[in-house]
Structure 1
Amino acid sequence: MSLTISRFTKEDESWWDDYIWQADNGTIFHTRRFLSYHPQGRFVDHSLIFKRKNSIRAVLPAIEMEMDKDRVLYSHRGASYGGFVYRDMGIAEAFEVVEALKKYARENGFTRILITLPPLVYMNRYSNYIDFAMLQNGFRYLKREISSVVQLPSHPDQVLSLFKSEARTATRKSIKSGIEIRLSDDYDTYYEILKQNLKLRHNVTPTHTLPELKKLAQLFPDRIHLWAAYLGEQMIAGVVNFICTPRVVLAFYISDNKEFQQYRSVNNLFYHIFQWAVQEGFQFYDFGIFTVNMDPNWGLGKFKENFGARGLFRDSFELLMWSPQNP
């Protein structure tokens, strides 16, 4: 029985997120709850559902958009990661799903497909079948960014051994200075630190507005947390953590007040966050990418390596429907 493809409708919201959380490779970014934080009109949703008879074989969160005069099917412009989400997919079915997507895109007037996949550790069951099927069907690597991922130890007492010598010294100094690390809901203060930090370092503004960040935290109170460092009652640093899968926690917006840099509060933050993550059974901590369009930020990469991070690919694939490989 061949695969059929239908476009996501409002009625599909009732089962979509449950499917994502029970899948081999679903993340917080594939859920409708996460994608719903975007205001109406920002994106034109074009998510797809792949079925065999009445069985859902895969879903693809996606939008449609115009880009460089192309009509693009993009998975997903409004999230860190996209791609097919599935359960128990073999190699033959991976090829079927990719071939069905190509046929659908061509029949619906798309001239380009863009898909960004999470790093491999986001999978509950490792597989490169989809990547292989896409490459064999004319997709190419658009870019291969490097994400800094820490493989967490089995016991909290082993966390400090992940850190390089200088980072261990700074962490101990911060702990002795009386800096307190705790969960916080004071996003307003944190956001002011973040804005100043990004302006000083990169002369940019945060990707998310303060209301958007607050909305995400409200949508996922059990999965999105603000960890903050306090000197007395003053917040001097913070990082927002996204619990993306049962195995992976992702750092968003690491930021500190440069007036208090001597307290090395960021080191202290990650020491406590890693201990919490190990206690909760997480296996990986993702610091996010330190490359932009495959151009490394060497200082940022070294900063993350100080906490035991190593680089894993975050791949973006592209299919040009009119290319010589896809006449």
Structure 2
Amino acid sequence: MHVERYTPEHEARWEEFVSRSNNGTLFHTRRFFQYHPPGRFQDHSLIFRKKGTWRAVFPAAEVREQERRLLWSHPGASYGSLVVPEALAFREALDLISRLVEYARREGFEGIRLTLPPTIYQKRLSNYIDYALLRQGFTYSRREVSSILFLESTVEANLAKFKPAHRRAVKKALRSGVTVRESEEWTSFYRILQQNLWTRHNVNPTHTLDELVHLKHLFPDRIRLFGAYLDRTLIAGVVNFICNRDVVMAFYISHDEAYAEYRPVNLLFYSIFDWAIREGFRVFDFGIFTVREEPNLGLARFKENFGASGLFRDTLELRL
């Protein structure tokens, strides 16, 4: 197994490999990293070849943290780790992680950190990479919990999973005249999002408005804003990332508190599930409800009321 640095001439081959892989997502593509301004990260992505054939890719950056030089996959994305073929063998998984560790040591890194996508992002479920990481001495540095909803064959079947209060909220929104449609009102939505995050948590969104609009430009078909409207006023929205052919993620969810009584978010998700089912997706990822492993119980309950359950989003680390 040969390990080499990614260079720009590999871009087309990288994108093709991720699209055909077992576990690749939007967050593993080179196009995704283009939204970061030059100089934000020092890229150190890797390609693993066996007899000339690509067997894995590893999006990563060099990071200095408390005087330690880390190989991190990836500080600029929700998920990282190795992207691998669907038919990855157990022996090859062991070899990949062994070569990753050897490479990092040889290049003078003092640690490796990576975040695995939850297992539902895989076409063929496998914990081979997880096992290989643990066997090499990686330990869990953070275990967040993401709310996952399995989509049924019809939106009515998903509606049956809603708790009664959520079903009543959908009906109330409809009776109140709330409508849902795909939207391009990114500035209006961002204003609602920014105000909510600052009021509730004293934080700003992960992305600036310019970055979010740039991401939409980079992925016009894979980043979709659905808005809830009362008359012509946007009162709530959900930014959805189509991560791969199976999974849609709600990256941002927000509503105008002045219109909370109309229950627009409940109708939004009902409508988004209907769209996702018709588009052939099988899983909806609501995102995490823990921050640094501290749970937001209200947020967990809100997502559970749609029928969601929790899966780990694991970050592992190895000190070298």
Q: TM-score range by the shorter chain?
A: over 0.9
1:197 aligns to what? 196
Shift of 1:15: 1.2
The separation in 2 between residues aligned to 1:122 and 1:201, in whole angstroms, is 31
2 CA distance for matches of 1:102 and 1:267?
A: 46
CA–CA distance in structure 1, aligned partners of residues 154 and 287 of structure 2: 23
Question: Quick check: 1:96 aligned with 2:95?
Answer: yes
Offset at residue 295 of structure 1 (A): 1.2
User: Bigger CA drift: 155-164 or 225-234?
Assistant: 155-164
- Alpha-carbon distance between aligned partners in 2 of 1:286 and 1:181, rounded to the nearest angstrom: 20
CA distance in 1, matches of 2:155, 2:255: 24
* Residue 69 of structure 1: how far off its partner (Å): 1.3
**Cα separation, 2, equivalents of 1:26 and 1:207:** 22
3-state SS in 2 of match to 1:242: strand
Partner of 2:299: 300
After TM superposition, the structure 1 = structure 2 runs for residues 8-47 of structure 1, keeping only pairs within 5 Å, are 8-47=6-45
Aligned ranges 1:88-237 → 2 under 5 Å = 88-237=87-236
Distance in 2 separating the partners of 1:30 and 1:169: 39
Q: CA deviation at 1:199?
A: 1.2
Whole-Å separation in 1 of the counterparts to 2:291 and 2:178: 33
Query: In 2, distance between residues paired with 1:199 and 1:286?
Result: 24
Distance in 1 (alpha carbons) for counterparts of 2:296 and 2:177: 32
Kindly provide the amino acid, as one letter, of the partner of residue 55 in structure 2.
R
| Identical-pair percentage | 52
Q: Deviations over 1:251-310 (max 9, x none)?
A: 011000000111000000000000111111111100101111211111111111111110
Q: Which residue in the other structure is 2:245 paired with?
A: 246
Q: Which residue of structure 2 lines up, in the alignment, with residue 324 of structure 1?
A: none
* Local SS of the residue matching 1:302: helix
Structure 2 Cα separation of the partners of residues 235 and 61 of structure 1:
37
Q: Partners of 1:77 and 1:300 in 2: how far apart?
A: 25
CA shift, 1:154, in A, is 1.4
SS of the residue 1:39 aligns to: coil
Give the partner amino acid of 2:40: R
Inter-partner Cα distance in structure 2 for 1:302 and 1:202: 18
Q: Which residue is equivalent to 1:325?
A: none
Q: Give 5+ residue unaligned stretches, structure 1.
A: 322-327
Give the letter aligned to residue 27 of structure 2. F
Please, which moves more after superposition, 290-299 or 24-33?
290-299
**Which digits, 9 at most, give the CA deviation of each residue in 1:210-266, with x for residues without a partner?**
000000011111110000000011000001000001110000110000001110000
Tell me the SS of whatever aligns to 2:160.
helix
SS of aligned partner of 1:86: coil
Using the alignment, how far apart are the partners of 2:271 and 2:192 within structure 1?
A: 20
Alpha-carbon separation, structure 2, partners of 1:190 and 1:76: 27
Q: State the alpha-carbon separation in 1 of the partners of residues 262 and 137 from structure 2.
A: 52
User: Structure 2: any 5+ residue segments left out of the alignment?
Assistant: none
* Letter matched to residue 79 of structure 2: Y
Task: Tell me the SS of whatever aligns to 1:236.
Answer: strand
Question: Do the aligned partners of 2:155 and 2:270 also contact (CA within 8 Å) in 1?
Answer: no
Cα distance in 2, alignment partners of residues 45 and 104 from structure 1: 15
- Which one-letter code corresponds to 1:10 in the other structure? P
Q: Secondary structure at the match of 1:25?
A: coil
Runs of 4+ in 1 over 4 A off after TM superposition: none
The separation in 2 between residues aligned to 1:307 and 1:202, in whole angstroms, is 24
The alignment partner of 1:24 has SS state of coil
Task: Report how many residues are paired.
Answer: 319
Q: For residues 129 and 110 of structure 2, what CA distance do their matches in structure 1 show?
A: 21
**Corresponding position of 1:50:** 48
Which AA in structure 2 matches 1:71?
R
SS in 1 for 2:197: helix
User: Match for 1:49: what amino acid?
Assistant: I
SS class of match (1:197) = helix
Give, in whole Å, the separation in 2 of the partners of 1:76 and 1:57.
Answer: 19
**Which stretch of the first structure deviates more once superposed, 156-165 or 11-20?**
156-165
Residue 36 (structure 1) shift: 1.0
Letter of the 2:220 counterpart: P
